[in-house]
Homo-oligomer: A and B are copies of this chain.
């Protein structure tokens, strides 16, 4: 949640003059997305989102992200669409940043996701995976298993400030994950960050997916593991098997799991927990204590990791198979 880059009003009016979208009525910084600056831009033709890409996004990746949004929409997966200016180009420059105007998507993120939301999410995730199967873009996952040890080492013994002996526990856990990590599962483009914040609903129906800026190529079932962690635990970190059952059943009605994918779910979900644990740990250690930003709790993901470690069969996720 942040507005990082201010846009001069005259510059904005000149910028919007390059589009066939009418006059600028208002432009308000919104608390959406943590990596980029987002404005809700009200033009006389309606509302839009103006995204300015900040330094954490590699400009070379932007054509991948924008192409993905267009490809997904064509495949029937609801998501915002980059809008081209009169010259046909969507990716432009404003206030010294790469930027894009995207369409406004109605809907709200669920603050307390229920089983019915998880079913909608499962279906949409499978449609995302099927819908990107023929997408030509490729982007390596820079936060996959190969990156985790480096992340842990850059946290170092400061990890023990959260819990005595934590660094060694994580290093041991990482050794196991590195050894057991599956490499030959069905793969393609995954969202990789499909938290409730990034999914809009209207009433009980999913109305869209947003924030594709972690999307990359990796195994589909790893994306499922990320979603199990993000959607199927209660605020006290207990696992809600009903939510998982709804998510997984809805997913497999659209794209069924292979036997190796099912067997790998526990280790993938454990690895997904490790990935978010490590980036949160990194932020926790490198954000000043007094900073008025919410540091997300790394220990939440330690609880989730340990849950998956104790799972002996995918049936414990509510899956009959």
User: When chains A and B are docked, how far (Å) is the Cα of A207 from the Cα of B281?
Assistant: 47
- Contact partner of A24 (CB less than 8 A), chosen from B7, B12, B40, B108, is B108
**Would you call A111 and B291 a contact (CB within 8 A)?**
no
Which of A25-33, A158-166, A312-320 is the interface stretch?
A: A25-33
* Max chain B C-beta neighbours (<10 A), residue from A28, A29, A109, A288: A28
CB neighbors of B among A99-118 (8 A): 104-112
* Set of chain B residues within 8 Å of A10, measured between Cβ atoms: 111-112
* Set of chain B residues within 8 Å of A299, measured between Cβ atoms: none
Check: A290 CB closer than 8 A to any chain B CB: yes
Check: A134 CB closer than 8 A to any chain B CB: no
What 0/1 pattern do residues 212 to 251 of A give for CB contact below 8 A with B? 0000000000000000000000000000000000000000
Check: A202 CB closer than 8 A to any chain B CB: yes
- Chain A: interface residue total (CB-CB under 8 A): 41
Check: A297 CB closer than 8 A to any chain B CB: no
Q: Can you list 21 A-B pairs, Cβ within 8 angstroms, ordered by A?
A: A1-B3, A1-B29, A9-B108, A9-B109, A9-B110, A9-B111, A9-B201, A10-B111, A13-B203, A25-B106, A25-B107, A26-B104, A26-B105, A26-B200, A28-B30, A28-B32, A28-B40, A29-B31, A40-B40, A47-B47, A288-B292
**Would you call B30 and A40 a contact (CB within 8 A)?**
yes
**Would you call A30 and B30 a contact (CB within 8 A)?**
yes
Q: Which residue on chain B has the smallest CB distance to residue A107?
A: B26
Check: A178 CB closer than 8 A to any chain B CB: no
**How many chain copies?**
2
* Set of chain B residues within 8 Å of A179, measured between Cβ atoms: none
* Set of chain B residues within 8 Å of A112, measured between Cβ atoms: 8, 10
Check: A81 CB closer than 8 A to any chain B CB: no
Closest 3 CB pairs of A and B: A29-B31, A288-B290, A25-B106
- Contacts A8-B111, A28-B40 aside, 19 further interface pairs with beta carbons under 8 A come to A1-B3, A3-B31, A6-B111, A8-B112, A9-B109, A9-B201, A10-B111, A24-B108, A25-B202, A26-B104, A26-B105, A28-B32, A30-B30, A42-B104, A42-B106, A288-B291, A290-B291, A292-B292, A292-B293
**Would you call A26 and B111 a contact (CB within 8 A)?**
no
* Max chain B C-beta neighbours (<10 A), residue from A26, A29, A107, A289: A26
- Contact partner of A26 (CB less than 8 A), chosen from B27, B106, B290, is B106
CB neighbors of B among A109-134 (8 A): 109-112
What 0/1 pattern do residues 1 to 39 of A give for CB contact below 8 A with B? 101001111101100000000011111111110000000
Q: Which residue on chain B has the smallest CB distance to residue A11?
A: B111
CB neighbors of B among A137-155 (8 A): none
* Set of chain B residues within 8 Å of A200, measured between Cβ atoms: 26
Nearest-CB distance from A157 to chain B (Å)?
Answer: 22
Nearest-CB distance from A226 to chain B (Å)?
Answer: 22
* Set of chain B residues within 8 Å of A12, measured between Cβ atoms: 108
User: When chains A and B are docked, how far (Å) is the Cα of A7 from the Cα of B8?
Assistant: 30
Nearest-CB distance from A296 to chain B (Å)?
Answer: 15
